[in-house]
Structure 1
Amino acid sequence: MPLERVISPELIDKLTCTRELDLGGMIRNLSLPKTSPIRERSAISSMGRMDILPAELVLFILHLLDFQALSRLLRVSRKAKTTVEALVAYRELREHAPDVLVALGKTRLLPYHSAALLRQTLRANRCVSCLVDFGAFLFLPTCERVCFECLHQNHSLRMTTLSIARECFHLTDSHLKTLPILHSIPGTYGVMFRISRRKVYRLVSVKQVKQLAIDVHGSTENVANLMPTSPPQGMTWRKSCIFKWFHEAPLEPPGCDLSRMPERSNLVEDDFGGMASIRMPCLSGTGADYGRLCKGCRLVNELHSRGLLPADVLEHLVPRGIRPSRPLRALTTRLYSREGFVEHIKTCYGANELITGWETEQME
């Protein structure tokens, strides 16, 4: 894109795709709770033994509490309510990500993450898996930001049932009770693959289960030896593939765009994709940023499907030996921060084509 072209806020909005069709398979449409007033019989308001502590120490302690504890504390007295509501973390989460708190409550994960950790994550912006893209989603069990493509491709970000976790990693119920157990919200979900789940499932994170197995069995080598070289008698092919992928799930961030990596065989669709993730804005000095999808990237994918994408553009976007549909489709679900979007459209072939077309229309 020519450098002299002015990228105005109006142009940015025009290039932003408002129909996020592929991103709707997460937790969504949650009803926000109503706050109830404090009714006190006495004019004296107290927080009990915490009254003897300096205000700065009280606030420090409260930031270490989870939102379930904070919500209970603010109902104790008017002073407790005022103190909790003065917490920066409490104010920011309630104002900018109230649905995240509701999702954590409904999935019974609220007690596992402190107010300080949630605020830290609210103000982060990168995906913890690829370390490159804007992490527009919160992975509830670990309270980490992730991007759509990593949710799809990184098996450590998948969820599994307690029975599969027990069998796959040779764990007991006592072991699994030490992990955050997500109680799913019935509904329709899906990351690249639609699923409908009408009952409540008790699920655990593959990443956390594998780390637990290493702690229980003593080493990564001992855990690897739990995986049989061939499927045991009676085990289905699909189940053996699931076990294989879970054992191979990376505990360290891949640190790259997984859509540009070579495809691996025997991939199995995610049975619970989207059930542990929710859209979460990134909060900065300029406000809350949910991320932007690029219309130009969708045009690029469409032009390729019609055989109209120039060969040099395709060569630039797709590594040699990689099936083009994977990285090109990943472009259509990649969200950018405000600043990242401006930089992206400067070099996006599809965005340049759209702008040129709009400029031509104005001249006619």
Structure 2
Amino acid sequence: MDEDLRRLPGFAWYTKQPICDNTLDNAQLETRCPLDNGRHSDASVPLRYSAGKLDQLPAELLIHILHQIDIPSLTRFRRVNRRAMELVDSLPYYNVLVKHFPNIIRAIVSIQADSFDCGTLYRTLSTKKCSTCKRFGDYLYLVDCRRVCYFCYTRQPEFFPLTTQQASAFFTSNLKKQRKAATSRQILHAAKPPSVLSLPGRYCTAWGSDGGNLARKRIRLYDRRSVVHSLAEIDLPTLDKTTREPRRFMAIITAPYLLDSGRRVDWGYFCSGCKEKTRHFRIKYTKADLLEHFARYGRVEEMPRIPGRFTHATPI
């Protein structure tokens, strides 16, 4: 923990809170997608095969090319032989991602999120603001690699992906009278809007002992913003717009803030004092934002006569 935060009065109450929303963080990614990075790097064993014509390219150009490949494809290339594995593992961006965010790599490979490349993911993780508001975006929407906060991904229509049936309704052929006219699904697949293939499991905010709503099958989910011309064109479910809709959680994973050129990460912190006063307790803060929040609302202290409940004191 950073020493600057430890010196603050009441720091003990600015901590990570175990809030479980049943996103991809809870999808048993280590079991479903184990990574073998570092297991086959014995330099004493000579390489038997090359990477073909790729080995003839200058190192700078080769790195630039590989950084622009989507991670599922990069993972498949890495499995070709030990030389390909060596090339991928030497990529600066990929190396940082695997070191600090292995579960994000596992999630991307597991749900086949292939609409963005390795470099885009690195640059997105090097930012901290939600893509649609000014809060810290402590999650990633993996359909198109955007930072998002809890409030936006549970409430904004653009983070509510479409099923194949819903998305294909926006791709109709003008040649319906022709015998060989393409179907709406064929047009959708040809257009290739950003999409993922969900994992079976329990998703959305836990209710009761089941721990979320169970999704038994894998389904293809399409980015609503890329398919729908206006986000108001499709009505959201009347009774299930936010925390009870599994589709909102199937492409969401926790995303810390990457800083110092990949040397450090900031996972962010919740403020216990905000449970009772000022702002919502689900807002997360980076270290710098937490210091500013503390200066504005005061240190956190236990409420008089209510043991175990905390609030902000008068700002210092």
User: TM-score when scaled to structure 1?
Assistant: 0.66
Q: How far is the alpha carbon of 1:33 from its aligned partner?
A: 1.2
1:294 aligns with 2:271: yes
Contact 1:38 1:77 in 2 (8 A): no
Conserved in 1, the CA contact under 8 Å of 2:47 and 2:82? no
Aligned ranges 1:244-283 → 2 under 5 Å: 244-245=235-236, 268-270=240-242, 271=245, 272-283=247-258
Does residue 56 of structure 1 match 2:60? yes
How many angstroms does 1:197 deviate by?
Answer: 1.7
Distance 1:74 1:126 in 2: 32
Q: Identify, as 1 or 2, the structure richer in helix.
A: 1
- Distance in 2 of aligned mates of 1:53 and 1:12: 56
- Percent identity of the aligned residues? 26
Give, in angstroms, the shift of residue 99 of structure 1: 0.7
**Highest Rg: 1 or 2?**
1
CA positional deviation for 1:101? 1.2
- The change in CA–CA distance for 1:24 and 1:9 in structure 2 (over 3 A counts) is farther
CA-atom RMSD in angstroms: 3.2
Paired residues in the alignment total 274
* Contact persistence 1:27–1:278 (CA under 8 A): yes
1:153 to 138, 152, 155: 155
Tell me, what secondary structure is at the counterpart of 2:276?
helix
Q: Which runs of 5+ in 1 are unaligned?
A: 1-5, 215-219, 228-242, 247-265, 301-316, 318-327, 359-364
Question: What is the one-letter code of the residue matched to 1:290?
Answer: W
Aligned ranges for residues 294-333 of structure 1 at < 5 Å?
A: 294-300=271-277, 331-333=280-282
Q: Which residue of 2 aligns with 1:348?
A: 297
CA pair 41-86 structure 1, distance change in 2 beyond 3 A: closer
Q: In structure 2, list runs of 5 or more residues that go unmatched.
A: 173-183, 311-316
**What aligned pairs does 1:1-364 form with structure 2 within 5 A after superposition?**
8-9=6-7, 11=9, 13-21=11-19, 23-28=20-25, 29-31=28-30, 32-35=33-36, 37=40, 45-109=49-113, 111-130=114-133, 132-167=134-169, 169=170, 171=172, 172-177=184-189, 178-190=192-204, 194-210=212-228, 214=229, 243-245=234-236, 268-270=240-242, 271=245, 272-285=247-260, 287-300=264-277, 331-348=280-297, 351-354=299-302
Write the deviation string for residues 110-167 of structure 1: whole angstroms up to 9, x where unpaired: x32211111111211110011x111110101010110001112211111221212334
Q: Structure 1 residues 298 and 85, CA, compared in 2 at 3 Å: closer, same or farther?
A: same
Quick one: distance in 1 between partners of 2:152 and 2:143?
A: 16
1:268 Cα deviation after fit: 4.2
- Superposition TM-score, scaled by structure 2 size: 0.75
